[in-house]
Homo-oligomer: A and B are copies of this chain.
Amino acid sequence: MENETTTPPAKPSARTKILEAALSVIRTKGYSATTVDDLCAAAGVTKGAFFHHFKSKDELGVAAANFWAEMTGALFAGAAYHQPSDPFARILAYLDFRIALLGGDVPEFTCLVGTMLQETYDAIPAIGAASYASIEGHADTLAKDFEAAIALYGSPGCPGAKSLALYSQAVLQGAFILAKGQGDAAIVRDSVSHLRRYLCLLFNKPEEIQL
C-alpha cells in the first residue's frame, strides 16, 4: 500500500531485507567482521540474490550508509522536537529525543555510520565518505537550529552553528564508543547531560540546566 523509497517496488524485496539486516549485523559485528554469508543468513536470502542487487560487499557498505541516512533522516525529520517555536528549546528537545532513542541493547542504539567510518576510512574510502556524509547531513539539520539560537541568544565570541552541530555529533559518537565498553547506555545519557549543560551555559539559559 504505502511506499516511498527511491525505487518503485513495493514488496519486502531481497534488497530491502539485506539492507535492513546490514544495519543490525554490522552494528553488532562491525563491517569487516561481517561476511556476505552473515548478511544473507540474517536477511533470509541467498548469495545469488545478494550479488544480484549489489556488485560487491563494499557496494553494499555504501548502500547501507545511504540507507541509514534515509532512515534516520526520516526519523528525525518526522520527530516532534521541531515543534517549539524557540530555537534553543528545539535544541534541548533534540537532546531529549536522542535520550529517548536509547532503548534496547547496545547494538540497537549505536550508530551504523560511526562504526563503519572508523573501520573503513582508510581502506574503503567510498564507505567512509558515505558514512561521513550521513553524519554531516544530520549535523546540518541541527545547525539550522543553532544558527537561529545564536541569533537570539549568542554572545560575542560564541562558536559557530556548524561547529556546535558537529561537536554535538562528536559527543554522541564518543559516548557510543564508551557505551560499548560499559555495556549500556548510561554514559550516553551522562554525556548528553554534559552537552546540555554546556549549551545552557553558552546561551545563558541557566534555568534550563538541570533535568
In this complex, how many residues of chain A approach chain B with their Cβ under 8 Å: the count is 53
Output the least CB separation between A66 and chain B (Å). 15
Q: Is the CB of A119 within 8 A of B117?
A: no
Q: Is the CB of B107 within 8 A of A122?
A: yes
Q: Is the CB of B169 within 8 A of A174?
A: yes
Output the least CB separation between A208 and chain B (Å). 13
Docked Cα-Cα span, A178 to B135, in Å, equals 9
Report chain B residues within 8 Å CB of A198: 194, 197-198, 201
Q: Is the CB of A117 within 8 A of B201?
A: no
Output the least CB separation between A167 and chain B (Å). 5
Most buried by B among A107, A119, A178: A178
A181 with B132, Cβ < 8 A, contacts A30-B118, A202-B197 known: yes
Report chain B residues within 8 Å CB of A178: 132, 135, 166, 169-170, 173
By a beta-carbon cutoff of 8 Å, the part of chain A in contact with chain B is 28-33, 106-107, 114-115, 117-123, 128-129, 131-132, 135-136, 157, 159, 163-164, 166-167, 169-178, 180-182, 187, 190-191, 193-194, 197-198, 201-202, 209-210
Q: Which 10 A-B pairs have the closest CB atoms?
A: A174-B174, A132-B181, A170-B174, A32-B32, A173-B174, A121-B180, A201-B201, A198-B198, A30-B119, A32-B33
5 contacts between A and B (CB under 8 A): A33-B119, A121-B180, A173-B178, A174-B174, A177-B177
